[in-house]
Structure 1
Amino acid sequence: MKSRSFNKEGNAKRLDIYFIVNVISPVLLFVLFWLVATDYYSSWKEELVLKLDSYAESLAYPVWTYDYRVIEKLTRVISQSAHITGVFVYDDKKRELGSFDESYVPSILEQVLGVRIQNRNINLFYADTFVGNANFRYTDSTPRIFLFYISLIFVGMYLILFLLVKNLKKNEHLKALVNELNEMNNELEIAFNELEEAQNKIVNSEKMAALGKLMVNIAHDVNTPSGIIYSSLTEQHKLLSDVKEKFDKDELTEEEFKEFLNTMFELNDMMMRNSRRIIELVQSLKRVAMNEMVQSYANVNLKALVTDVLNSLHPRLRKTKIKVVADIDDNLNVYTVPGAIAQILMNLIDNAIVHAFEYDNPGEIRIEMKTITSGNNKELMFVFADNGKGIEPEIQKRIFDPFFTTDPKSGSGLGLSIVHQLVFEVLGGTIEVQSELGKGTKFVIRLPIKEGN
């Protein structure tokens, strides 16, 4: 009687377990997957919409000015972003100003998952004026494939539960399955962590290539030379009109004509210098967003390179009381990536201006470059030091993290992260930070010197 009652109770419990595993568990897993999938897809769509709006905002000004060269470059850079397969830009009269159309052939898995090409048309406004529209073509392959793998994990979890219950008849097998389940849970946790790390790297890579956010950081630097060029053109137009009027009336004197020529040369020189400044800013932005722009090696004179960088940053440095001292031998020539060296220096100077010194306080930046011998190899020792306020020890551990900044109003948190990437991934070197509160900060960069023509 006892054994029968025990068997009945055991069978009842087993039936309850089978009911939970075979009926309730699939429903719960399906509901959980549906909630996760809905939330993830919505978040992805919102983030994509924000990104496309940012791209559209960056296109408004060049569309307004009909700057075909900038529009072409922006469409090419935007099309390199994940999901986006085509960009088409039109003015307010529906005339195409620029486009980039990449042929998209879905894989077999994408076809099975129903991946489709979608379009988003955004009207472009500049100074509250409708200037045109931008049409973005994109796919939702990434979230669909991601959710497909998540669904496989959910199915795997259900199968694990099913197999676990099926083997309840044998205690030893049950213990073994429990141990295996624990091991698999650990593996799943590790897999999830690796997936999150990989996803973070992808997000960081996409965000560093997002020109919309980076263009905000240089908007003031572009507006200033643009305003000077516009003012110079206005003055030239006025002078030309005056001279033409006097010439037509035969009232133009030789002295007035000479003065007119001198003024025109001065205005033209001013416009050329500011145009060159805008070109340098655009090229700098392009190097940040497109790492392939700094992948070519060349022999370069480092003293001349540093001088060029300092000259290009002079408009910003002159607004501060910071003195820059460069200690570099005139004949220091190395075979390296000039664009990467220039970008490292520009980001370090920008970081020092924003974070090293209090507002309107005097300070000094020292730049030293020399070759040293390490074993059988030659290295370039690049030292960048300031006598500013220094960095707290806890912050020193995070200064190279993407998007980490102590002053969100003044920077995007990408400067030192880009420096770290250029030093390690592009130039194959190392970077070390040494800082003490109240005594300044020093960055010590060691770069291997290669032989080449």
Structure 2
Amino acid sequence: YITKPIHQAEVLARVKTHLRIRDLTLSLQAQAKTLQKTNAELNQTLAELKETQSQLVESEKMAALGGLVAGIAHEINTPIGVGVTAASTLHDETQYFLKSYASGHLKRSELDDYIETAQTSSQLILANLQRAADLVKSFKQVAVDQSSLEYRQFLVKPYLEDILLSLTPQLKHTNHIIEITGDDQISVTSYPGALSQVVTNLVMNSLMHAYQKGQAGHLHFHLACNGDRLILEYSDDGCGMTPETLKKIYNPFFTTKQGRGGSGLGLHIVYNVVTQKMRGTIQCESQVGVGTKFMMKIPLNISTELPESAVPENVQL
């Protein structure tokens, strides 16, 4: 209400304040809807991941995807939690603000404080929803590829980044630095799920075998092309291996961590996937106290390595 006599400046100020309240309320409602939509998409993605997991046959694939499902739930919990807290704070502040306004005792300082809170909360909500959306996208792509038997064209470096993002739960509690260098425009037509298996097993092998607990390490992927081959190098600066151990690393069930979580299948899977599924080659160099390096050569176009009967009609050789 407005007391008489009516002053134009007061009327304009009241109208302006009311419009700002309406805009802020609409913004809060829109952000709440966005949060609900993201939560629904997250639940749908988790359901799809679990469904994909149930369809996998090989035990190592199932274990990897199980870790992926647990990883996405764990990682997304943080940005969603921050978003919910910010939305709750903004809601509480809005209720207090509306009561003050309705009573006619709203102070300019209270309006300024509310606007600042609304802006800060909105930024937090939007930033964390975007973080959650990015995580969902990366996890979903890697999970789908792991269960797919088909090949497709993709950029190698961005896909490696997605794979490493899916390994965040394993990497975040370490002091390791992991980086990807080389040509970021290399595109291949190959099996992305197979590449995911290779990268995941190489990184997990380093985490399990190369370093002492709490030790900081440097894990490094390097990309290059040589003719019609992708050159993918992976190295760590861990404890390295003796020549005797190096001879046995691809043997199934060989592990130096027997009884401590090592299945002895990781590098065996890497070797079989690179040489059979991806039609490539793999070599390993290692020196005690220096580290280990794997060098893989993989066809840039897998369709040229397959029998014509195995190539879909829509793929040109």
Q: Match of 1:321, as an amino acid?
A: N
Aligned pair partner of 2:115 in 242, 257, 263 = 257
Question: Which among 157, 182, 187 is matched to residue 328 of structure 1?
Answer: 182
| Structure 1 position 210 matched with structure 2 position 186 | no
Secondary structure at 2:74's aligned position in 1?
A: helix
Counterpart in 2 of 1:70? 46
1:419 is matched with which residue: 254, 270, 273?
270
Equivalent residues in 2 for 1:163-174, closer than 5 Å: none
Deviation at 1:363, TM superposition (A): 2.5
Letter aligned with residue 379 of structure 1: R
Instruction: Give the aligned residue type for 1:246.
Output: F
Residue in structure 2 matched with residue 172 of structure 1 by the alignment: none
Preserved contact between residue 229 and residue 275 of structure 1 (Cα < 8 Å): no
Deviation per residue, 1:105-160 (Å, 9 max, x gap): xxxxxxxxxxxxxxxxxxxxxxxxxxxxxxxxxxxxxxxxxxxxxxxxxxxxxxxx
- Please give the residue correspondences for 1:22-61 in structure 2 after superposition, counting only pairs within 5 Å: none
Alignment of 1:370-381 (within 5 A): 370-373=224-227, 378-381=228-231
What SS class does the counterpart of residue 399 from structure 1 fall into?
Answer: coil
TM-score, reference length from structure 1:
0.47
Contact 1:222 1:278 (C-alpha < 8 Å) held by counterparts: no
Q: In structure 1, what is the Cα distance between the partners aligned to 2:264 and 2:219? A: 21
Write the distance in 1 (CA, Å) between the matches of 2:137 and 2:252: 27
Offset of residue 270 of structure 1: 1.6
How far, CA to CA, are the matches of 2:248 and 2:273 in structure 1? 17
SS for the counterpart of 1:327 is: strand
Instruction: State the SS of the aligned residue for 1:438.
Output: coil
Deviation at 1:253, TM superposition (A): 0.8
Code of the residue aligned with 2:234 in structure 1: it is F
CA contact (8 A) 1:370 1:381 kept: yes
- Mark the structure with the bigger radius of gyration: 1
1:444 aligns with 2:295: yes
Tell me the residue number matched to 2:151. Answer: 296
Cα distance, 1:384 vs. partner?
Answer: 1.0
Which runs of 5 or more structure 1 residues have no equivalent in the other structure?
1-65, 82-204
Give the Cα separation in 1 of the matches to 2:161 and 2:113: 40
Query: Which letter maps to 2:174?
Result: T
Question: What is the match of residue 39 of structure 2?
Answer: none
Q: 1:230 aligns with which of 72, 75, 81?
A: 81
2:138 maps to 1:280: yes
Secondary structure of the equivalent of 1:249? helix
Structure 2: segments with no counterpart, 5+ residues? 1-41, 305-314
Q: CA deviation at 1:441?
A: 0.8
Q: Pick from 203, 207, 215: which aligns with 1:353?
A: 207
CA distance in 2, matches of 1:354, 1:261: 45
> 1:371 Cα shift?
2.0
Which whole-Å CA distance do the structure 2 matches of 1:70 and 1:308 have between them?
17
| Alpha carbons of structure 1 residues 417 and 272: separation in structure 2 relative to 1, 3 Å | farther
**Alignment CA distance shift 1:291-1:359 (3 Å):** same
Distance 1:398 1:221, change over 3 A: farther
Structure 1 residue matching 2:178: 3-state secondary structure: strand
Letter aligned with residue 324 of structure 1: I
* Paired amino acid for 2:59: K
Query: How many residue pairs get matched?
Result: 255
Query: Residues of 1 paired with 2:211 and 2:112: CA distance?
Result: 53
Compute the TM-score of the two structures, normalised by the length of structure 2: 0.64
Which amino acid in 2 is paired with 1:268? L
Would you identify which runs of 4 or more consecutive aligned residues in structure 1 move more than 6 Å?
none
CA distance in 1, matches of 2:294, 2:234: 5
Alpha-carbon contact 1:402-1:417 (below 8 Å) kept = yes
1:435 to 2:286 alignment: yes
How far apart, CA to CA, are the structure 2 residues paired with 1:72 and 1:321?
32
Q: Which has the higher strand share?
A: 1
More relative contact order, 1 or 2 (CA 8 Å, 6+ apart): 2
The CA distance in 2 between the partners of 1:261 and 1:278, in whole Å, is 26
